[in-house]
Structure 1
Amino acid sequence: MSAKGVGAAVVSYGLMGCSSDDDDENVIAAEFLHGVASGDPSHDAIILWSRVSPLSAGDIKVSWEVATDSSFSQVVTNGEMVTNSDRDYTVKIDATGLEAGTQYFYRFKAGSNMSPPGMAKTLPQGALAQAKFAVLSCANFPAGYFNVYEMASRMDDLDAVIHLGDYIYEYARGEYASERAAELGREVLPEGELFSLADYRTRYGQYRSDLSLQKLHAQTAFITVWDDHEVANDSWREGAENHNDNEGDFDARKEGALQAYFEWLPIRPWREGNHEEIYRSFQFGDLVDLHMLDTRLLGRDKPLEYPDYMDPATGGLDSARFMADVTDTNRTMLGQEQQTWLQSTLLTSTAKWQVLGQQVLMGQMMLPAAIATQQLSIPEFGQLAALAGFAARAQAGDPTLTADELKYLQSYGDKLTPEAMALLQLPSIPYNLDAWDGYAYEREVILATAKSLAKNLVVIAGDTHNAWANELKDAAGDVVGVEFATSSVSSPGLEYYLGIEAKDIPATEEAILGLVDSLKYANLMNRGMLTLTFTHDEVRSDWRYVDTIMTRGFVEDIARNHSLVTKAGTPSLEELT
């Protein structure tokens, strides 16, 4: 499997060469403190990963073996390699010559110390009846325990874990979502914000010390992409919101961050030494073609920002200038090379389902401008809209206006000031310019490609820390595909940013569903995961949540779980019956 399609033999950056030195003198003792992992499976190969923690500096010889049984009596391939501080003592090998659609067991050994075993499954070929994935994103270590990873690790029927990024966060101790970090024993290392290669390595090491994450990595192969926090918040190809000129060169920061990413994640880059191009495809028989995209670092233009379009004198939005920029045909999120690759890959892909694994929401999340620009909260807008409706009906002499509605209008009608009415009359605009709504033309190109090829298109997303389901409509209003967005592992969602109390969540979710035409599901407060089950007839989406991340003990919050289904050939979302 390569970044440009499964089947090519690729030696990736960070893979360790075999050692032919049988001299065991001066062996340095080392332990396996970060578990094992597998990833980027192909039909005949899979990446195997671990890390040794040496008791003293130097080269560490590590042996590895792959077997078809958990007792390792049927070893099918093995080898030795040497790791050292140049790659932070990580071990990554490409186990090749394997059989398609087969479950394997693997382990590592350094001196007399053996790693825990892991399980890895190669991709199936030919006819396939079902494929099941867990979709995860956004794990902020100080925000709480990784109970969502623990819940996922208890599933024994997954074909792969798809991680859509924000595997780590770059913030300093005491910053984002760290209010209870000291109490939970989850204050970040290093203490400061991440800038150097050493900083990023240390943070990955802390994350990978988490036993729930270790358990999930050992259980199932990961297919990963980065989002922004693997480098810095709201990254784009030349910078980031969370990077200032006085913090050094952004390219140097990015280079260190991505080197650490490739060292610590079981990923196979498409070209040796290349840290920036990770778009690639995975073929699950004749059922699912999974295309992993980079919407952050490779090609993304700088995101638009609403303050740049607000009139400081009036506080109003320059809608004409804003819409001209947001629909600019030159704005790109993927970059031309990646976009061309995706279009050509969709053209030649033959699986029943075409799945785009990427970071940010593709669905049109259009909200009234007063809400999107935070001039009104959702409840405030709802109240004003209701009052305006009652006032219009009263003025028209509507006989259906009830006594309670008239009383409400009389009590609160003074809120309908000229300024409030002006806010109500503003158009709907995108609520998140960091998502595909801020790159509208390129989204149309992708949807038009899928539509012209009559593909069963499924888009998966993370990033927002909330769960969503969208019907993907093109400019003509046709539903071209569906989008499923996962909640976060631990990062807080809109309930945190907007200060929504738990008792108000259901009403707020209902209000957003009423405001956004293509939105069919929203969960604004629960931490959890998404599972997708594909057959030739349909894809079923199941959002699963935990009741807490503040204690290690948790239960699944079944009352908040939700399921939808979409049928092949019919790109719409239906409640599961």
Structure 2
Amino acid sequence: MKKNINRRQILGGLTATGALACSPQNSSSYNAQEKNYYGSFLHGVASGDPKSDKVIIWTRITPENPHLGQLNVKWELSENENFELISKSGFFATQIARDFTVKIDVKNLEADRVYYYRFHFNNNTSPVGKTKTLPEYSVEKANFAIVSCSNWEHGYFNVYDHISRQEHYDAVIHLGDYYYEYGAGEYEGASETNLNRIHSPKHEIITLDDYRLRHAQYRSDNSLQLLTQKLPLIAIWDDHETSNDSWKSGADNHDLNEGSWTERTHAALRAYYEWMPVREPKPGQLKSDIFRSFDWGNLLTLITVETRLTARAEPLVMEDHFEKITSPGGADSFKSDILNDPSREMFGQNQSRFIINELKKSKSSGTTWRVIANQVIMGRLLTADLEPYIDEGSLSIIEKDWKGVRKSIQLSKYKLPVYPDSWDGYPHAREQFYKELINEGIKDIIVLTGDAHEFWINDLTSKNNEKIGIECVTTSVSSKTMTAYLGENTSDYSLLLTQANPDARYYNALHNGYIDFSLSHENGKVKMMGVSTVKSQKYEAFEVASFELKRQSETIIATKPKGLNLKQRALFEGFGQSKS
């Protein structure tokens, strides 16, 4: 097990530069009460991967005797909440071999239709779930809740609770890190023991049984159950669904003494497909081929991608190249020869071909918007020089746990990737993707991203400064934000990093929350929603900032910002930013 120390821990020693954060406005109070459904359906219900003619419905049976053989579960789907008229029904045979999960891809449905569904087993009836198929032709508007990074130990899923209280969403898009693989207290500090939210099993999950147990624990959360009961889910995995900083052939958090990486990923993906309302790849495809597309009539095409297990090369650790980078001319050599190595793939050829073809079809059919659901930050974000802002006392404290902290601080002056396992760690792969888009005349993509535990609005530009589109990054549901490490200096660091990166239009690392994302044919709207706490189920929800997305020439820009303070607004407009 590798010690989990990350770059956020360096930043806790930043000295303040005097910036002030914007105070949240118009907050509302809520209480995410614990209400578990007892009987055979302890993990609730869910739906997902809606199409115009089909949708997946899901539940799990909790048998009194886990050694029973095959269990026959009845399912029903209706256009009426009281099930006066049954549209579809059937039986699903589940057993211990699939962890008693029930998952049906209900087909031959009507487009743009609300459906209700439920399950029956052993004289018990499940909660009634609500879902909706996609529109097939003309549609005026679509609304989504965008979420990422839900860590059981770090706090309550108040974000899920707040989303489930809203009535205007068509679907929830989960961008990964739906759960975390670490053992109790192993990820970014000790477990929140006062919340009684300790990972189960208590060890790092590696086997099929381990992954199933972790899914079961997260699905026991009342707020998650309410969310998936009320809205269809479109989900992709990031790294923690297998192991931290995963790539095609391994992971930072996978050691040889933990067994075969191939066996571990097979176990993780098997449990994922058992427990998630996600449509499995077609016969002949790999289990990791989770990339797929969804069409909301003539309004938008949504493409979900896979950036971990399909083709990704091993992430670089900048400190491993310290001597080369800090030698005369070494930084440029490192960037050209190692960082920009053409063999460092992200999508792979098959996935790239799929994405480009789907985008081409979308554009040629006259669809208004093209959206990519993506795991890690795609925009260019390079390090700001931190040496003037961190004191010796803080370095000495951090150095007790991390001997390499001084190297990391020294490297910050060389404009290296802020997040080496993001697209900045694979600049050649990103540039090739941009070239393919440009060659097809596609310069208007909206990329939705998670992973970073912070809000961003980033311009997407090629190395020749040709604009490709815009990126909207959501913060975490409950995983610790930068505030846990920087405290009152969080706003200062956000301004420093925004100033150093001309493609970064807005950065806020203060809050847990989600993005309220809506599209009409005229424009798009991004509302960054925050919650006041994840340490209590009594919380306030508020709008952190908002932006309008509109077309400008061939591309898309962010405009009409709200909720920004004076310094944030100046940087959003491009004043005071680095031009390099």
Structure 2 CA distance for partners of 1:378 and 1:76, relative to 1, 3 Å: farther
Deviation at 1:137, TM superposition (A): 0.7
Counterpart amino acid of 1:42?
K
Aligned residue for 1:533? 518
Aligned residue for 1:205? 216
Is the Cα–Cα contact under 8 Å of residues 148 and 177 in structure 2 kept in the other structure?
Answer: yes
User: 2: CA distance between counterparts of 1:483 and 1:312?
Assistant: 32
**Residue 50 of structure 1 aligns to a residue in which SS?**
strand
**Residue 354 of structure 1 aligns to a residue in which SS?**
strand
Structure 2 CA distance for partners of 1:109 and 1:317, relative to 1, 3 Å: farther
- Counting only pairs closer than 5 Å after superposition, residues 74-153 of structure 1 correspond to structure 2 as 74-153=85-164
Q: Indicate which of 296, 300, 303 corresponds to 2:312.
A: 300
User: 1: CA distance between counterparts of 2:377 and 2:310?
Assistant: 18
**Higher radius of gyration, 1 or 2:** 1
Counterpart amino acid of 1:567?
K
**Aligned-residue identity in percent:** 36
Q: Indicate which of 355, 358, 361 corresponds to 2:371.
A: 355
Gapped runs of 5+ residues in structure 1?
1-28, 382-418
Deviation at 1:428, TM superposition (A): 2.2
Q: Indicate which of 276, 281, 292 corresponds to 1:280.
A: 292
Aligned residue for 1:334? 347
Is the Cα–Cα contact under 8 Å of residues 143 and 178 in structure 1 kept in the other structure?
Answer: no
User: 1: CA distance between counterparts of 2:360 and 2:160?
Assistant: 35
User: 1: CA distance between counterparts of 2:113 and 2:203?
Assistant: 44
**Residue 530 of structure 1 aligns to a residue in which SS?**
strand
User: 2: CA distance between counterparts of 1:283 and 1:337?
Assistant: 21
Cα root mean square deviation, aligned: 2.3
Is the Cα–Cα contact under 8 Å of residues 41 and 123 in structure 1 kept in the other structure?
Answer: yes
Deviation at 1:379, TM superposition (A): 6.0
1:28-76 deviation line (CA, Å, top 9, x unaligned)? x971000000000111000000000000122211000000011011211
Deviation at 1:445, TM superposition (A): 2.2
User: 2: CA distance between counterparts of 1:183 and 1:439?
Assistant: 40
Number of residues of Structure 1 aligned to a counterpart in Structure 2:
501
Is the Cα–Cα contact under 8 Å of residues 117 and 129 in structure 2 kept in the other structure?
Answer: yes
Is the Cα–Cα contact under 8 Å of residues 346 and 429 in structure 2 kept in the other structure?
Answer: yes
Give the TM-score normalised by structure 1: 0.83
**Residue 323 of structure 1 aligns to a residue in which SS?**
helix
Moved more, 331-340 or 547-556: 331-340
**Residue 442 of structure 1 aligns to a residue in which SS?**
helix
1:62-107 deviation line (CA, Å, top 9, x unaligned)? 0000000110112111001111100000000011111001010000
- Indicate yes or no: 2:271 matched with 1:260: yes
Aligned residue for 2:427? 440
User: 2: CA distance between counterparts of 1:425 and 1:153?
Assistant: 41
Structure 2 CA distance for partners of 1:537 and 1:314, relative to 1, 3 Å: closer
Counterpart amino acid of 1:461?
T
Counterpart amino acid of 2:121?
A
Q: Relative contact order (alpha carbons < 8 A, sep ≥ 6): 1 or 2 greater? A: 2
Structure 2 CA distance for partners of 1:459 and 1:112, relative to 1, 3 Å: same
Counterpart amino acid of 1:336?
Q
Is the Cα–Cα contact under 8 Å of residues 103 and 119 in structure 1 kept in the other structure?
Answer: yes
Counterpart amino acid of 2:318?
Y
Aligned residue for 1:311? 323
**Residue 163 of structure 2 aligns to a residue in which SS?**
helix
Is the Cα–Cα contact under 8 Å of residues 529 and 544 in structure 1 kept in the other structure?
Answer: yes
Deviation at 1:309, TM superposition (A): 1.6
Is the Cα–Cα contact under 8 Å of residues 542 and 562 in structure 1 kept in the other structure?
Answer: yes
Aligned residue for 1:291? 303
Q: Indicate which of 31, 48, 55 corresponds to 1:46.
A: 55
**Residue 366 of structure 1 aligns to a residue in which SS?**
coil
Is the Cα–Cα contact under 8 Å of residues 326 and 411 in structure 2 kept in the other structure?
Answer: no
Structure 2 CA distance for partners of 1:184 and 1:177, relative to 1, 3 Å: farther
Counterpart amino acid of 2:538?
G
Aligned residue for 1:504? 489
Counterpart amino acid of 2:300?
V
1:111-132 deviation line (CA, Å, top 9, x unaligned)? 2100000001001111111111
Is the Cα–Cα contact under 8 Å of residues 182 and 205 in structure 2 kept in the other structure?
Answer: yes
1:399-447 deviation line (CA, Å, top 9, x unaligned)? xxxxxxxxxxxxxxxxxxxx99x96995422211100011112212222
User: 1: CA distance between counterparts of 2:450 and 2:95?
Assistant: 34
User: 1: CA distance between counterparts of 2:489 and 2:259?
Assistant: 43
Structure 2 CA distance for partners of 1:314 and 1:519, relative to 1, 3 Å: closer
- Counting only pairs closer than 5 Å after superposition, residues 429-508 of structure 1 correspond to structure 2 as 429-452=416-439, 453-496=441-484, 499-501=485-487, 503-508=488-493
Gapped runs of 5+ residues in structure 2?
1-37, 393-405, 563-580
Is the Cα–Cα contact under 8 Å of residues 322 and 411 in structure 2 kept in the other structure?
Answer: no
User: 1: CA distance between counterparts of 2:523 and 2:246?
Assistant: 35
Deviation at 1:308, TM superposition (A): 2.4
User: 1: CA distance between counterparts of 2:344 and 2:236?
Assistant: 22
**Residue 541 of structure 2 aligns to a residue in which SS?**
coil
Aligned residue for 1:222? 233
Is the Cα–Cα contact under 8 Å of residues 326 and 438 in structure 1 kept in the other structure?
Answer: yes
Counterpart amino acid of 1:565?
E
Deviation at 1:493, TM superposition (A): 2.3
